[in-house]
């Protein structure tokens, strides 16, 4: 299927060597050439390994980046542009069930905004975020606060 007209296509690739349990791989961010990272099953399903990433961490990075951008835009459209937004994404993975949920935790510095208004806009941004939409098969929870 061809990309939509005027679509920006971002590219990445992975090379895997060996079996799932014993193998390792490398994922590369091709469009930006920003990074090349090592992958392993042990780093995904058993324990975090320093310097080794996994698909869930990459999804968390993409989701936190996209959500921060969506919330910044929503706040600006509201007439309350943020000074800063910090978003964490905790992606839960079970070898038996796969990705089970994502918990976004956002702290915003938005002068003059009430916590209730921030939460309302933050919840709407979660629904409007393109990565949230792409991950609609997973439960996505949000905790929003002003800092």
- The domain limits of the chain are 12-53, 55-146
**pLDDT value at 2 more than 90:** no
- The residue-averaged pLDDT of 74-98 equals 97
pTM for the full model? 0.94
Per-residue model confidence as pLDDT tens digits over 31-83: 999 999 999 999 999 888 999 999 999 999 999 999 999 999 999 999 999 99
Q: Which two tokens stand for residue 79?
A: 């007439």
Domain 55-146 in this protein, CATH class: alpha beta
- The residue-averaged pLDDT of 128-138 equals 97
pLDDT of residue 46: 87
Average pLDDT, the chain: 96
Instruction: List own/partner pairs for 88-91 with CB under 8 A and 24 or more apart.
Output: 88/60, 88/64, 89/59, 89/60, 89/61, 89/63, 89/64, 90/60, 91/56, 91/57, 91/59, 91/60, 91/63
């Amino acid at each position: 299927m061809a990309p939509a007209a005027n679509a920006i296509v971002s590219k990445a690739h992975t090379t895997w060597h060996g079996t799932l349990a014993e193998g390792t791989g490398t994922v590369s961010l091709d469009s930006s050439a920003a990074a090349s990272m090592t992958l392993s099953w042990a780093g995904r399903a058993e324990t975090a390994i320093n310097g080794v990433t996994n698909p869930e961490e990459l999804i968390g990075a993409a989701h936190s980046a996209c959500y921060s951008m969506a919330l910044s835009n929503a706040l600006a459209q509201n007439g309350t542009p943020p000074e800063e937004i910090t978003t964490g994404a905790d992606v839960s993975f079970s070898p038996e069930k796969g990705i089970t949920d994502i918990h976004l935790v956002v702290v915003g510095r938005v002068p003059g905004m009430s916590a209730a208004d921030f939460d309302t806009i933050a919840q709407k941004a979660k629904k409007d975020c393109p990565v949230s939409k792409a991950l609609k098969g997973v439960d996505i929870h949000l905790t929003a606060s002003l800092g």
